Amino acid sequence: MVFVVGLFLGIFIFTEGYPIWEGLYKANFQGFPKLSTVLNISDGLFALLVILAAMAMFWAGEWAEKKFPQPEY
């Protein structure tokens, strides 16, 4: 029942707000933008930043496991 209410609410919001985003709705497809292009950095630098972020998150996960140990089952 909640999904049906959400469906009708979404339809109502779209139809009432259509004049606001009509230009975006009717815009031409301009391709899939790359995040490195949006951020105005090279692809290599972006790849390096993603690798460094992944390594930092693995390090943070290991740190959290040591800081907050869970009992063995």
Give mean pLDDT, residues 1-30: 92
Task: Specify the pLDDT at position 72.
Answer: 80
What the block records as the tokens of 10 is 């979404």
Is 0.85 surpassed by the pTM of this model? no
CA 27 and chain centroid, separation? 22
pLDDT digits (tens, 9 = 90+) for 18-71: 999 898 888 888 889 899 999 999 999 999 999 999 999 999 999 999 999 888
Q: When comparing pLDDT for 73 and 69, which is higher?
A: 69
Q: How far is 10 from 18, CA to CA, in rounded Å?
A: 12
Are the beta carbons of 43 and 36 closer than 8 angstroms?
yes
Task: Specify the pLDDT at position 29.
Answer: 85
